[in-house]
Structure 1
Amino acid sequence: MACVLLTSFFILISAHLVESSGVFELKVHSFTSTNSVCKQSCDCQIFFRVCLKHSQDIILPETPCTYGTGMTDILSVDSISSSAHIRVPFFFKWPGTVSLIIEAWNAESSNQSTKNINNTISRLGNKRTLAIDKDWSQEVHLGDQSQQRFLWNFSYRVVCDEFYHGEECSDFCRPRNDAFGHFICDVAGNRICLPGWKGDYCAEPICSSGCSEEHGYCEAPGECKCRFGWEGPLCNKCQRYPGCLHGTCNQPFQCNCKEGWGGLFCNEDLN
């Protein structure tokens, strides 16, 4: 009588570093064998293992899992936890094409050791191209091993972690509103400045409308502060020489006398 394992759990490849750029995820929905998957009866415990490694034309299970490995908890045939899952993130530009190995193992006395290859129930592996995508890809695989036939039903995906974007999860963008920038991020990881800010990192305030770009500046959006020698709401008026009475200026601190006036301060009536 066939042993049927109906599962709904995640196998997520994870490492134990603080941050990562993305994560590979695998869901095994069902695993069916034509004979007992256990050595003596269907009343046994098993676990699943995933190995993710660099692209190989010929998959070699004995070589290291260069991109990470993960296992589920030990699962009973009669009582399979739907919440068992593992996370193994990656910390590099996602290569796109990888070698993926999925294995089912018998558990020896609640031990998840993979040293005894005789405890391997089934293994499937191939090279595949996995694009960054939040949607799950569904697959059904029929395989034969040791005069048994196994039916796998699983789905998988690769997603970027929070703040990472792009086809390789290599574009970093974290929203901020501080001295180093004022922006949010779109789905592609592009910075979008908050209202009142501009520049590559949205750290330059936008001054009030009409504020002289040459003679005015601002430290916060909507301001118009005048540089030395200039004045007015838009900082477009030069300051006359102190004490200039009947004069004008084209540049700061001039005192160009109007018609009929003279002297250093244009305070002498020439008429």
Structure 2
Amino acid sequence: MRSPRARGRPGRPLSLLLALLCALRAKVCGASGQFELEILSMQNANGELQNGNCCGGARNPGDRKCSRDECDTYFKVCLKEYQSRVTAGGPCSFGSGSTPVIGGNTFNLKASRGNDRNRIVLPFSFAWPVSGHPAGSRRSLVPAPARFHLPLQGAFLKGLGLKR
């Protein structure tokens, strides 16, 4: 005969059955979209390459500015997971892209849907297991597309490509 304490608890087979049913309910959720970067302006007042050398020739001895040819400026993007210390090397986990040469040392471009020269688009898709969402919930977890103005300076310019 069972003790009174054991009567109210579900047995092991019932617990295993519940765990199996929960596991079968898990689904794979996917998301896709695109990362889009549009270059609107660039300022390289000294006409220097990424490594600090002049794009065309030597520096002016008086003011130490590059004096000859302008740089041929293009941009490269490498989308990676978060890094507390950004490095130029390593794989681009979520994609990479570049623009053709789009200007010299300093330029301003207009935002235009028809001009793709100054735009880098990286499509992405992800899939991960989820166990469902609240019943009746139809809210999107991803906000509507937004535009941000990011003045890139310092370490962020390490990916800037300049040709001689």
Q: TM-score w.r.t. structure 1 length? A: 0.29
Larger radius of gyration: 1
* Structure number having the greater helix percentage: 2
TM-score of the superposed pair, with normalisation by structure 2? 0.45
Bigger fraction of residues in strand: 1
